[in-house]
Structure 1
Amino acid sequence: MARLRDSILANYGGQAWIALMGLAFVPVYVGRLGAESFGLVGFMLGLQSLSLLLDFGTGVFLSREIARRHHDPARQGSIRQLVRSFEWLVWPVALCIGLAICLSAPAIATGWLNAETLGRPTLVDAVVLIGLAVALLWPSSFYAAAMTGLEQQPRSNALAAAFSTLRYAGVLPVLYFTDTGILGFLAWFVLVAALQTAGFAVAAWRRLPAAPEPARFRFSELFDAHRFALGVFAATALSLLLTQVDRFTLSALRPLQELGLYTVALTVTAGLGRLLQPMFSAIYPRMSRLVAQGDVATLSGLYHLSSQCVAVVAAAVGGVIVAYPEDLLRMWTGDAALSARIALPLAMLTAGSVLNGLMIVPYALQLAHGSARLAIIANALALALGIPYCLHAVDGYGLAGAASLWLFANLAYCALFVPAMHRRMLPGEAARWYLRDLLPALLAAGVLVAAAKALRPTLEQTAADLAWLFATALLAVCAAGLAAPDVRALVRTQAQRLRARSAE
């Protein structure tokens, strides 16, 4: 089992590399494929996100249950039975996902996607390849959840980074040395998806504790999980549906090219999400163990420290993107017209992602207590109001209207969902979360980024401006970290330890 610090660092390192891989090659993809073909990539990413709800909450349940059993000698031997039992659910669902998408390919190509230059045969073949890629990649999240429960984040992130490199960089020869276009691009993603799932499956099974008997299917393992898993499934399903409303509304009401442009903005905000998700992956199994042990004091300390760490990263990175959306896009893509068109949607999506990131620690605490009720209620209300809102907003305001749904939904979550969670699980600590965990870091980073924007309002594609951007982000992280009291205390403690070791 890795220490919590090692798990967090491994998660950040792995996710930063994955985000870099995802961002670095997008201008190449758009340039080689065109915005319309790249819109199919956005459609694939949307289907991948929606497919996650079909795990029925088993991934979150598996992480929590393995974490609880792994530290109980009397139950360690049952972990293999648990994983094998859920495999009998995971693989048939993956097969159904692939079949459903492939069989629906003609209908999707004709009745859903508004292509202007791609022919119908190409669209049908592309959707079939998308179905295979989604189905083959889907089980990898199940095995990654098992490794999270075992607190094997360093190994899990090393695997994820390796396959991310293979996926994003490995496709370049296909684009440059073949004339297969979008079909060759998607075929490569199918191959890497199969390799990734196989790699994660082997790694997870090798790390499971030994058992006195061979792993076999047990229906009781599925039945015991049904209440919590279905609650997580409902919350996740509603959340994923909400996150896909904007892109599927765009794909239905606007030209496919606009979805391609929107996907560029989503790729940037996905990078921000990858910088925040590592905290959830590291603290969720630890919180689950602390809840099971009844250690409220340690749990509260971990909750507030991790909330401040998330606030530091979200405020600094998100602030820079919101301050310089068009300049960042122009530096990245080299396309001034594209950058101007999606700068406002990018700023809105980033602000929404910052707010969403601030809530991952409260959500982890809720799941560690075995409850998803508040998330279900919040997501159901947001979805019920969000669908008609998005239809109107996209029809009237296009890309900016689509992005506004994510921003307003997360504003409502942060104002209403988090106080209700505190009343149930950490009574009396909501004010501390807002005023001590979030506000100092957000203010410090915001003031520094605003000053940088005032000193240099626009940036060009020069080395000096790129250095300015990185320096602003780094200083914003430092300012936010110094303003967050628990983070500041942690840094001081670590510095004292290093000095003590160097003196020995």
Structure 2
Amino acid sequence: MARLRDNVLASYAGHAWVAVMGFAFVPAYLRELGAERFGMIAFMLSLQSISMLLDFGIGVFLGRELAQRAHDPARRGGIPRLIRSFEWLVWPTAALIAVLIFAGSGLLSTRWLKPHQLAAAEAGHAVELIGVAIALLWPTSFYTAAMAGMERQLRLNVLAIVFATLRFGGAQLVLVCTGSGLQGFLLWYALVAAAQSVTTARALWKSLPESDRPVQFDPREVAGARHFALGVFATTAFGLLLGQLDKLTLSTLRPLEEFGCYAVAATVSGGIGRLVQPMFNAVYPRLSRLASNGRRQELSQLYHLASQIVAVALAAMAGVICAYPGSVLLLWTGNAEVASRTAVPLALLFAGTAINGIMNLPYALQLAHGWTRLATSINLASIIFAIPLYAVAIGRFGMTGAAAVWFAVNAFAFMVGLPLMHRRLLRGELSNWGLRAVAPPVLAAATVCLSARLLQPSVERTPGGLAWLVLVTGAALAAAALASRGARRAVLDYWGPMRSP
């Protein structure tokens, strides 16, 4: 059986490479395409996130179900039939996504977006290509969730590294060598998306155990998923809507150029997901298995350890970004105007996304127990709270208002959701989680970053400036790790803390 430590490391390696590719090439895309056309790419990524609603919770259900079946000899042989049954839903849904976006391309390009430089025909054609690209990539999430549930993290992340390199590096070559602009970028994106979906599907099927019955569609497999999957769907639907409200509202109320600048800040803050998702992907299947077997002590130990490691990484990165938002943007993009306009929004976005990231492990614990109602309720309440605030804040303060509301919404979810969760799951451990897992690394990293800001308030776009940010990041990470008992133990006892329970 793959060791949990190896799964975590493989997952982090894959996500780190994808993040490096994105951060390395986004400034180049911005230079080649301009803010408005880059805004179209940001719009594509927003639509891509929204398309995950049509997953209907299947991916999360598979992660939990496969983690349990893979270690149960009586149910292991039914895994191929389970995958085949849901495949009959996945590919038609992908086709539906393409049709819906293609049919609405005219309205989306003229009524929703507000391009000034792009001609109406070019914008409409771009939205059509966006629909094709999103549809071709969409099945990848299904196969990725299945491979994560089977704990095939090494193979999964090798594929992620290969296709991230092809997607980002290849798109830059297309822009530079062909001069095809936005159309060439989207065509390349669609081509790589198709290749990734097909290749990931083949990799999954090669890793499945032999079936105990004919591998064909079984309506009972789909019906058996309906209660948990629909709960996850509701949670995911509200969560995705909440996560895209700022961008959707900003894109319709403000000029496309401003939305493009905001998308740059959102890209940076979205990098936090690369710090959290690897741990979630590796730990969630194991939490599900421990929860189903009633092994509470091991479940608690894994939950607290994973939370501490995530808190260390988030505290260090959020501290540096919030201390030097404009400097980070200037070093990254080389665009002084974009850095100046988006510095404050970036700090607010990053702080809010860091809070959201801290809540990922508690959410994994809820899913492992098959409990979705709390997360659904919190997300729904947050949406009701956020919609009027976004309308007012964006109308008055633009992208700074959008970022401020995002921070407030996540702070609300944190303060309300965590106490409610710990009243039912791992009762009596909230104070231990907050005071030992979260607070020490956050306070340590914040102290280092605030001290650095006092010593050197601004950082220039020079090798010395870059070296200073690297030094501060390393110091914040070291301080956060030393302040976290679990992280210290993981470093000192490399082979022990994440052995398979």
Q: 1:496, CA displacement in angstroms? A: 9.8
Q: 1:171, CA displacement in angstroms? A: 1.1
Do structure 1's residue 311 and structure 2's residue 321 form an aligned pair? no
Indicate if the aligned counterparts of 2:385 and 2:409 stay in contact, CA closer than 8 A.
no
Distance (Å, rounded) in 1 between the aligned partners of 2:465 and 2:113: 39
Indicate if the aligned counterparts of 2:490 and 2:496 stay in contact, CA closer than 8 A.
no
Distance (Å, rounded) in 2 between the aligned partners of 1:369 and 1:448: 38
Q: Which runs of 5+ in 1 are unaligned?
A: 498-504
Distance (Å, rounded) in 1 between the aligned partners of 2:343 and 2:396: 18
Aligned to 1:329: 329
Q: 1:44, CA displacement in angstroms? A: 0.1
Distance (Å, rounded) in 1 between the aligned partners of 2:131 and 2:356: 29
Q: Secondary structure at the match of 1:34?
A: helix
Q: Which runs of 5+ in 2 are unaligned?
A: none
CA offsets, 1:434-489, max 9 Å, x none?
A: 11111111111111111111111111122122111112111211111111112222
How many aligned positions are there?
Answer: 497
Aligned to 2:131: 131
CA offsets, 1:11-37, max 9 Å, x none?
A: 111111101111111111111111000
CA offsets, 1:225-261, max 9 Å, x none?
A: 0000000000000000011111111111111111111
Indicate if the aligned counterparts of 1:66 and 1:79 stay in contact, CA closer than 8 A.
yes
Aligned to 1:9: 9
Amino acid at match of 2:117: T
Distance (Å, rounded) in 2 between the aligned partners of 1:483 and 1:164: 34
Alignment map for 1:354-365 (pairs within 5 Å):
354-365=354-365
Distance (Å, rounded) in 1 between the aligned partners of 2:173 and 2:281: 34
Q: 1:375, CA displacement in angstroms? A: 0.4
Amino acid at match of 1:472: V
Q: Secondary structure at the match of 2:170?
A: coil
Aligned to 1:391: 391
Aligned to 2:241: 241
Q: Secondary structure at the match of 1:494?
A: coil
Aligned to 2:24: 24
Aligned to 2:69: 69
Amino acid at match of 1:306: A
CA RMSD of aligned residues (A): 1.2
Amino acid at match of 1:232: V
Amino acid at match of 1:447: T
Quickly say closer, same or farther: Cα 1:389–1:491, change in 2 above 3 A: same
Quickly say closer, same or farther: Cα 1:217–1:441, change in 2 above 3 A: same
Do structure 1's residue 342 and structure 2's residue 346 form an aligned pair? no
Aligned to 2:490: 490
- Any runs of at least 4 consecutive aligned residues in structure 1 with deviations exceeding 4 A, and if so which? none
Do structure 1's residue 93 and structure 2's residue 93 form an aligned pair? yes
Distance (Å, rounded) in 2 between the aligned partners of 1:476 and 1:152: 32
Aligned to 1:457: 457
Q: Secondary structure at the match of 1:236?
A: helix
Distance (Å, rounded) in 1 between the aligned partners of 2:163 and 2:236: 25
Aligned to 1:283: 283
Q: 1:213, CA displacement in angstroms? A: 3.1
Distance (Å, rounded) in 1 between the aligned partners of 2:38 and 2:155: 32
CA offsets, 1:299-328, max 9 Å, x none?
A: 000011111001000000111011110001
CA offsets, 1:402-461, max 9 Å, x none?
A: 112221111011111011111111100111111111111111111111111111111112
Distance (Å, rounded) in 1 between the aligned partners of 2:490 and 2:15: 23
Aligned to 1:252: 252
Distance (Å, rounded) in 2 between the aligned partners of 1:144 and 1:488: 31
Indicate if the aligned counterparts of 2:175 and 2:185 stay in contact, CA closer than 8 A.
yes
Distance (Å, rounded) in 2 between the aligned partners of 1:162 and 1:146: 19
Distance (Å, rounded) in 1 between the aligned partners of 2:13 and 2:178: 33
Distance (Å, rounded) in 2 between the aligned partners of 1:66 and 1:325: 41
Distance (Å, rounded) in 2 between the aligned partners of 1:2 and 1:394: 48
Indicate if the aligned counterparts of 1:39 and 1:257 stay in contact, CA closer than 8 A.
yes
Distance (Å, rounded) in 2 between the aligned partners of 1:413 and 1:219: 37
Q: 1:491, CA displacement in angstroms? A: 2.3
CA offsets, 1:186-207, max 9 Å, x none?
A: 1111111101101110111111
Distance (Å, rounded) in 1 between the aligned partners of 2:211 and 2:496: 43
Moved more, 129-138 or 210-219: 210-219
Indicate if the aligned counterparts of 1:20 and 1:271 stay in contact, CA closer than 8 A.
no
Indicate if the aligned counterparts of 2:459 and 2:465 stay in contact, CA closer than 8 A.
yes
Indicate if the aligned counterparts of 2:33 and 2:181 stay in contact, CA closer than 8 A.
yes
CA offsets, 1:363-383, max 9 Å, x none?
A: 000000001100010000011
Aligned to 1:162: 162
Distance (Å, rounded) in 2 between the aligned partners of 1:190 and 1:488: 44
Distance (Å, rounded) in 2 between the aligned partners of 1:86 and 1:302: 31
Aligned to 1:58: 58
Alignment map for 1:205-216 (pairs within 5 Å):
205-216=205-216
Q: 1:179, CA displacement in angstroms? A: 2.6
Normalised to the residue count of structure 1, the TM-score between the two structures is: 0.97
Amino acid at match of 2:206: R
Aligned to 1:502: none
Distance (Å, rounded) in 2 between the aligned partners of 1:309 and 1:347: 22
Percent identity of equivalent pairs: 51
Q: 1:212, CA displacement in angstroms? A: 2.9
Indicate if the aligned counterparts of 2:78 and 2:213 stay in contact, CA closer than 8 A.
no
Distance (Å, rounded) in 1 between the aligned partners of 2:466 and 2:197: 37
Aligned to 1:501: none
